[in-house]
Amino acid sequence: MESGFPALISLPELFGSETLTWVVLGLGIYWAAVIGLRNADLLPDYVGTQGPILTFHTKRGREFLDWLSGPKRFWRAFANVGIGVSLVVMVAMFGFLLLAAIAAFSSPEPAASEVQTPRNVLVIPGVNDFLPLSAAPGIVFGLLVGLVVHEGAHGLLCRVEDIEIESMGVAMLAIIPFGAFVEPDHESSKEASRGGQTRMFAAGVTANFLVTIIVFALLFGPIAGSIAVAPGAAVGGVEPGTPADQAGIEPGDRITALEGDPVDDNEDLVERFDALDGETISLEVNGDETLEMDRELQVIAPPGGAPVDLESGDVIVAVDGESVETESDFFAAIGDEERVTLTVEPTDDGDTEEREIPIGGAVSVVDDGPLESALEADYGTIDEPFVITQFADERVHSYEDVDALIGEHEPGDEVVVAGYLDDERLETTVTLGEHTRQSGTAFLGVTPLGGTSGVDFSPIGIQLYPAEEFLVMLGGEGDGSFTSLTDSFLGKVAIALLLPIAGVVDLLPYNFAGFTGGIENFFVATGPLAGLGDGTVFVIANLLFWTGWINVQLGFFNLIPAFPLDGGHILRTTTEAILSRLPIDATRGMVRAVTTTVGLTMLFSFLAMLFIPWLLAS
């Protein structure tokens, strides 16, 4: 159709996943049942409805809150600290959403939109791409804890500020706890001081942040300290059709021995495998199964394809007529040659082909960067991937080589860079710039496309899972790439929040959803808690991880300065306090104008962050 709109859209296309389609259909049926029960007056008096949400009300627990609110000075001090924290986070959330909306309009990125898609905003395991069903128990537990402490803190401060409570309860969407609530008496709430109201609204998020600190302290300390990486190389993924796939190796397996000799870890496997002779290798898997595997050098290309004529599954048989079986054979055969002829056995054909390609560091040239400026001055517009083969008179075989050499130079240095654009060799002199985010660091102006000439080579056909890296991020023992961040508690918290999307933001090759989903095989309980058993320790770790993750998310979300969130109420009371101190006749209309403007800005920014990348990319 000329309008650009499809004539027919299926439900899976509309909602983004088949699982979400069934969830939406089930929700519709459930909602119809709720309406039917309400209209037939079959719901008990303590059950209310708000759309598809059922609210369960109770007056029990008010005596406990009255008793707990006894030390009022202590709780007011606690809430006052929370107000300060809340105001800082509110300003940060306002800035974050506003900048995210501006970025969505100016430069939508596919990687960012993957995280921001509507189904991935929902914290529903199996619907959210980053939250597998295996993580559901930990997520539900963390959500329940977060809701109870949040609303419990509101109720507690209500009694501290002498605000009566009509009822308390939980809100359920089918069997999912959607929220909890404390229903203060309207008249009593209006009579409370402005400071008392602000403390009451800030108490919920303050309690969430406090829970986050407690559970992460337990996770990063005694729990992570009682988990170790199991011996062997951790298999995170297996390329289809590769020797590993044909031998029966599966994701979640550990390769524990090669030719009868134990394998310590991932690095040990790579070093040992490359040094072995013979076309067939004997591997021990999970300590109890022996497999025979053929050895051949296979290509692993990125999902979007490689900038050279190679695809995932291609087998490299020879380099310039010299047979190769391992990565060391491959680079030894290349030597200092910039272009070589590969004998390739394609993944879908048993016949061999010869392909001539450049060997170097494949990059995408950044607009207006030092390299693009130099190349355009000598050769004109550069809009294709560039394979760097020489940098500062040094032969480079991969982007890692290029990056290492850049690190040896300073901003302002002049270097000669040579490489290939398609089949044409280009050479230019580049004046290195300064990295905008790392002062004093030389900047070439390129984005790496990975590996050697944009591909990786594997004689096995597996992707190794960085079990030790994940454990170090959670406070466990070992060597990691992010020790500068994980040396501090706040650094560990920041990293932990990113772990479920670690693979998307290029933190690590895989996302981490707790010790579940098959990766339990990569870890073992140790130390004083080992007697509880691996399963029990992993369950405790998962509950702590998701409780901390959910609570800090609840805190941040509720502090978006918009109604009906806590941030919107705090914005109102804060605006009233500020206007009352100005030499003007402040009115309720002025307060409403500020809160409405800020709230609508947040709403439109949130919607823009979610949907604009889709619209601009379509």
Q: What's the whole-number mean pLDDT along residues 35-63? A: 75
CATH class of this structure's domain 359-450: mainly beta
pLDDT greater than 90 at residue 133: no
Q: d(Cα 520, Cα 467) in Å, to the nearest integer?
A: 10
**Residue-wise DSSP of 347-390:** TT-SS-EEEEEE-SEEEEEPTTSHHHHHHHHHH----S-EEEEE
Q: d(Cα 179, Cα 462) in Å, to the nearest integer?
A: 43
Q: What is the pLDDT of residue 274?
A: 74
Structure token pair of residue 256:
């524990």
Q: Which helix (H) or strand (E) holds 172?
A: strand 165-173
Total count of residues recorded for the chain: 618
Q: d(Cα 99, Cα 109) in Å, to the nearest integer?
A: 14
User: Residue 129 — very low, low, confident or very high, per pLDDT cuts 50/70/90?
Assistant: low
Q: What's the whole-number mean pLDDT along residues 535-559? A: 93
Q: 514: Cβ–Cβ under 8 A, 6 or more apart, which residues? A: 135, 138, 538, 541, 542, 545, 546
* Alpha helices per DSSP H over 302-357: 327-334
pLDDT greater than 90 at residue 405: yes
Q: Which of 166-170, 213-217, 292-296, 394-398 has the lowest mean pLDDT?
A: 166-170
Instruction: Note whether 251 and 239 are within 8 A (CB).
Output: no
Q: Which of 122-136, 190-204, 459-473, 589-603 has the lowest mean pLDDT?
A: 122-136
Q: Do domains 240-295 and 359-450 have the same CATH topology?
A: yes
Q: What is the DSSP letter of 218?
A: H
Q: d(Cα 294, Cα 461) in Å, to the nearest integer?
A: 11
User: Residue 429 — very low, low, confident or very high, per pLDDT cuts 50/70/90?
Assistant: very high
Structure token pair of residue 301:
């290309």
Look over the chain and give the mean of its residue pLDDT values, rounded to a whole number: 83
Residue the block writes with tokens 């983004």:
16
User: Residue 609 — very low, low, confident or very high, per pLDDT cuts 50/70/90?
Assistant: confident
Q: Where are the domains positioned within the chain?
A: 21-220+548-617, 240-295, 359-450
Summarize pLDDT for 364-390 with one digit per residue, the tens.
898 889 999 999 999 988 888 999 999
Summarize pLDDT for 262-314 with one digit per residue, the tens.
999 888 888 887 777 777 889 999 988 999 988 788 888 776 778 888 887 78
Say which residue, 485 or 412, is predicted with more confidence. Answer: 412
Q: What's the whole-number mean pLDDT along residues 405-431? A: 93
Q: Which of 39-48, 69-78, 200-209 has the lowest mean pLDDT?
A: 39-48
Q: What's the whole-number mean pLDDT along residues 153-178? A: 78
Instruction: Note whether 141 and 546 are within 8 A (CB).
Output: yes
Question: Helices H, strands E: what count in the chain?
Answer: 20, 26
Instruction: Note whether 409 and 380 are within 8 A (CB).
Output: no
Q: Which of 352-361, 403-412, 484-493 has the lowest mean pLDDT?
A: 484-493
Q: What is the pLDDT of residue 303?
A: 66
Q: d(Cα 74, Cα 78) in Å, to the nearest integer?
A: 6
User: Residue 6 — very low, low, confident or very high, per pLDDT cuts 50/70/90?
Assistant: very low
Q: Which of 195-204, 230-239, 287-296, 607-616 has the lowest mean pLDDT?
A: 607-616
Query: What's the topology of domain 240-295?
Result: Pdz3 Domain (2.30.42)
User: Whole-structure pTM over 0.85, yes or no?
Assistant: no
Edge-first strand order for the sheet with 47-50 is: 47-50, 53-58, 165-173, 176-184
Structure token pair of residue 163:
């605000």
